Each structure stands twice: as C-alpha cells, then as structure tokens.
Structure 1
Amino acid sequence: MSHTPMTVLVVGATGSIGRLVVAESIARGHTTRALVRDAAKARRQLPAEAQLVVADVTRPETLPPAVADVDALVLTLGSDGSGHASPEAVDYAGVRNILTVLDGRTPRVALMTAIGVTSRSSVYDHLLDWKRRSERIVRAGGLSYTIVRPGWFDMNGPDEQRLVFLQGDERRSGTPDDGVISRAQIAQVLVQALTAPEAEGKTFELVAEAGPEPGDMGPLFAALAPDAPGALDAARDEANMPLGKEPQRVRDDLDAVRARAHA
C-alpha cells in the first residue's frame, strides 16, 4: 500500500481510540492535526508532534480552521449519552458538522462506528441508530471513505491478532461474542485505510481471531464488497431502517449533504 504523507485531522483525538490514531498517523509520517476542546489537557495526552486545534464538533462555527487544508479525516467520535455529549449531538451531528464545513474540500475519510450498528436495539438508548446515521451521511457526502465497525475493545487474548474483516453486520448479540479487537489494531486499520485504494467506498466489521497480525492489509481490503454507489447503507446490510420513517431533520441533513456533493 502507498504511504504518501498527508495532513490528517483526527476528530475524537483524546478518546481511547483517537489517541492511538494520532500516534499511528504520526508514526506513518503524516502531518497530524488533533481536534481538541482543551489544549492543555490534550497536550498531556498526545504526542508532542501532534498539531492541536481547539474546536468543538457541537459548535460548527469553531470548525473551519480545523479542516483547513486537510487531506484526510479520521472520525472516532464517541458520546457518553448525556447532555453535551449525547449520541445525536456527537456521534451523528458531530460528523454532519464536520462534513458541512468542508466547503468544497474533498478529504479522504475514515469513520469508526461499531459492530452491531444495524441491530436497531434500544439497549444502548439508540446510540447505534445515531452511529448508523453518521455512516449514512458520510456515504451521501460524495467523499472517498472507509467505514470501520470494530468489535469489543481490548478483549482479545495475546494469541488473537489475526485481523478479520466481515460484512453484513450479522453479529448482534451485544456481547463480546460478536468479536473482539485491540484498540491499537483499530487505530492501525483506520490510518492504513487512508492510503489504501482497495479500502475506498467500503464498510466492514473488524475483529481479531487466533493467529498472527497480517503483514499487509491490502488483500483484506481488496476482498471486501464495495458499498453500492448512492446507497445509504453498506453492502450486505439488512434494510431495516427505512428512510421514510427517519426523523425529518435527518432526512433534511441527507438532502443538504447530497446537494453540496453535487454542487
């Protein structure tokens, strides 16, 4: 795979995955910009080489400097389900707000959501539905993207390092039985997807099983089915979230991002 250096913006940069994405991006030679709300706190958490930009995904007016001149975005947004960080405000609208302020830029996008995102389960207070809506708005945005749905974080054993890419989102128990993956490997997949042509336009679930790490992710990306052009959902996903039953504000957002993509 190509390792062409880029300017990469990591959104969700101080989260447990985002911090590793920042480090992985720097290690692979990219100029790496971290979107943070608190620069002093972030400086204690992130490598010195990271460029910090203070902004808030829930406040679109703060975002234009963060996306200026970026070649790629890694979106690892995550909410805690309360107040400022509700699933709708962060997991969904945060992604929408980033796409809205691109103003004609066409960066490569890697979005992290979650395994089981299509389950329609209310167990997580509709968190997964909002993550799925973030996937849909990325697909509608006309950008080159990869969407990664990792399994349960850091529950794999030391002998479980072999990456497995799945499609169809059929593992929906809501338990680690759905699959496990290390945070470090999630970060590696997200960053490597940015420079892998084989990963473009693809959505997959990411788990690790018994065996060694792969030396090259290219064949894993290449074996995936691409998402259908213009489709809201991923290849092989169950069609269980009808657009006509979506909230009007969500449909309006999709219409707006599609209009910008074709402007």
Structure 2
Amino acid sequence: MLNNSDLILVAGATGGVGQLVVAKLLEKNLSVRALTRNKSKAEKMFNDQVDIVVGDIRYPDTLKRAIENVTHIICCTGTTAFPSQRWDFANFFEAKNSPQIVDSEGVKNLILATSKNIKRFVFVSSCGVLRKDKLPFNILNTFGVLDAKLSAEKALEQSVLSYTIIRPGRLIDGPYTSYDLNTLLRAKTDGKKGIILGTGDTLNGDTSRIDVASACVECLNYEVTINKAFDIINSGERSPVINWEKLFSEIS
C-alpha cells in the first residue's frame, strides 16, 4: 500500500503515459520524482510539484541520482514502433532512439541500477509481445518494438526485483504533452468503455492512456499484482467508479 513516506520515480515522465502517471500520483498527495531528458519541459509541465532529475536510461551513469531513496519505480519510457524523427538517426543503421536501444537496453539499464530493496518496479510493455508472429502484431513488430519490450520483460522477471508488467493495447486518449499540470489533473477518458484485464497476452483492442496510468498507480496498492504481467484494454460498459481491487483480484 502506498503511503506518504514513499517516493515514486516515474521514468519517461513527460511522455504520453508518464505525465498522466505523475498527475495521478500527485492527486494522491504522493512524493514524485520525474526522470526526464528535458528539464525545462518537465518544469513547465509539473509546476514545481515534483523532484525533477535529468537522466537518460540509455546511459547508466546518469541514473545514480534518479534512483536514490526511491521506494517504487514506474517505467513509462518508449519510442515509436516505426522509424520517425524520435529515433534520432545518424543514418538508417544508427538510430540513437530505436526500440532496441530504448525499450530493451534502456529499460535493462534502469533495472540494473535499481536497488533490490525497492518495493515495486512497474513496467509498461505492450499487448502482442507473446504473439509477435500473428497479425496485426507481426506488422507492429516490423522494426522490433515487441522484441525489445519482451526482452525488457524477461530481464525484469529474471531480476531480484518485485515487479508488475502492464501490457496495454493500442493507446488512445492524448497524448497530453502540450498541456500543463492542471489540465493533466482534470484529464478524463473520452472513451465510454470499461476496463478489461487479462493474463497471458490474449486481449485485443484499444486502451486509454488514462486507464494505463491509473493501472500503473493502483497496482502498487495490491499485493496480488506483485510479480504479475497483465493485459489491459477498454471494452464493454464503463462503470461510474472503477473497482481496481475487484479487477486485480479477478486476474490473481
């Protein structure tokens, strides 16, 4: 159970899911440390309400300050599945931000830097990591993003850390990167569909970034989610109030 003495590090804090995770942690009056490459962007977004640490999961020597005294880590880092400006090309064969470098090696760097005494390491992965040879995931994996996510999952499972792996479907709602913290705190899903959790990478569908962020935070309150990987999509009728305890208990 999260409490006021906890310090939660959010890696990828200014990304589409990460910034919503930060907002939801702040809603609960929890202490948050944001790991970011862009200090000015984080300062503008979070309005001095979080501890901002400049670092880069691609470079292990930049992570020491970030992980000091943290009790939980929520890793929302990631790059695009297909080549884009975000890949930061030197040339086609030398992308500094490719899935292999960010989603695999970078996450592994963060895992290795993390103290074994941490209470939980939450990793946002992807639906399809176990179905990479089947449509539509074989197309999504054309440039290896699912290979990279699965590699990071395995590293986390083989570590000594207590972990939770969250596998969303195609992300909808947002991203909200042009908004300020006040807007993030008011963010509501535009979808009218409920939340479905599953195990074994069997679900297909869209997933609200807001619901992914909520799952990242809420799973920290329940022991049944320790050392588990679960899928999350939106489907069916949405309840006025989401009962996370019930949802998690059904996949335990």
Could you say if the C-alpha distance between residues 77 and 197 of structure 1 is closer, same or farther in structure 2, counting changes exceeding 3 Å?
same
Aligned counterpart, 1:158: 191
Could you say if the C-alpha distance between residues 3 and 159 of structure 1 is closer, same or farther in structure 2, counting changes exceeding 3 Å?
same
Matching of residues 27-42 of structure 1 within 5 Å: 27-42=27-42
Aligned counterpart, 1:97: 109
Aligned counterpart, 2:200: 168
In 2: Cα distance, 1:223 partner to 1:14 partner: 32
Residue 220 (1) aligns with residue 219 (2): no
Shift of 1:29: 2.1
Aligned counterpart, 1:229: none
Could you say if the C-alpha distance between residues 88 and 194 of structure 1 is closer, same or farther in structure 2, counting changes exceeding 3 Å?
same
Shift of 1:93: 1.1
**What is the CA deviation profile of residues 205-247 of structure 1, one whole-angstrom value per residue up to 9, with x for unaligned ones?**
101112224432112112224xxxxxxxxxxxxxxxxxxxxxx
Structure 2: any 5+ residue segments left out of the alignment?
88-94, 174-188
Aligned match for 1:147, one of 159, 165, 168: 165
CA contact (8 A) 1:202 1:224 kept: no
In 1: Cα distance, 2:35 partner to 2:101 partner: 16
**What is the CA deviation profile of residues 188-215 of structure 1, one whole-angstrom value per residue up to 9, with x for unaligned ones?**
0001111211211111110111222443
Structure 1: any 5+ residue segments left out of the alignment?
172-177, 226-263
Aligned counterpart, 2:98: 86
CA contact (8 A) 1:109 1:194 kept: no
- Higher strand fraction (1 or 2): 2
Aligned to 2:22, what secondary structure does the other structure show? helix
Q: TM-score, normalised by structure 2?
A: 0.80
**What is the CA deviation profile of residues 140-189 of structure 1, one whole-angstrom value per residue up to 9, with x for unaligned ones?**
112111111011122786321x2111122134xxxxxx211211111000
Shift of 1:46: 2.8
Shift of 1:114: 0.7
Could you say if the C-alpha distance between residues 157 and 215 of structure 1 is closer, same or farther in structure 2, counting changes exceeding 3 Å?
closer
Matching of residues 197-236 of structure 1 within 5 Å: 197-213=223-239, 214-225=241-252
Residue 111 (1) aligns with residue 111 (2): no
CA contact (8 A) 1:118 1:129 kept: no
CA contact (8 A) 1:13 1:34 kept: yes
Could you say if the C-alpha distance between residues 3 and 97 of structure 1 is closer, same or farther in structure 2, counting changes exceeding 3 Å?
closer
**What is the CA deviation profile of residues 11-36 of structure 1, one whole-angstrom value per residue up to 9, with x for unaligned ones?**
01111001101111111221000001
In 2: Cα distance, 1:79 partner to 1:158 partner: 24
Aligned to 1:134, what secondary structure does the other structure show? helix
In 1: Cα distance, 2:191 partner to 2:155 partner: 36
Shift of 1:3: 4.1
Percent identity among equivalent residues? 28
CA contact (8 A) 1:138 1:145 kept: yes
Aligned counterpart, 2:176: none
Shift of 1:79: 1.5
In 1: Cα distance, 2:97 partner to 2:191 partner: 33
Given residue 18 of structure 1, which amino acid in structure 2 is its aligned partner? G
Aligned to 1:149, what secondary structure does the other structure show? strand
In 2: Cα distance, 1:207 partner to 1:39 partner: 32
Could you say if the C-alpha distance between residues 169 and 215 of structure 1 is closer, same or farther in structure 2, counting changes exceeding 3 Å?
closer
Given residue 20 of structure 1, which amino acid in structure 2 is its aligned partner? L
In 2: Cα distance, 1:196 partner to 1:77 partner: 23
Given residue 95 of structure 1, which amino acid in structure 2 is its aligned partner? V
CA contact (8 A) 2:75 2:121 kept: yes
Aligned to 2:214, what secondary structure does the other structure show? helix
Shift of 1:129: 0.8
In 2: Cα distance, 1:222 partner to 1:47 partner: 36
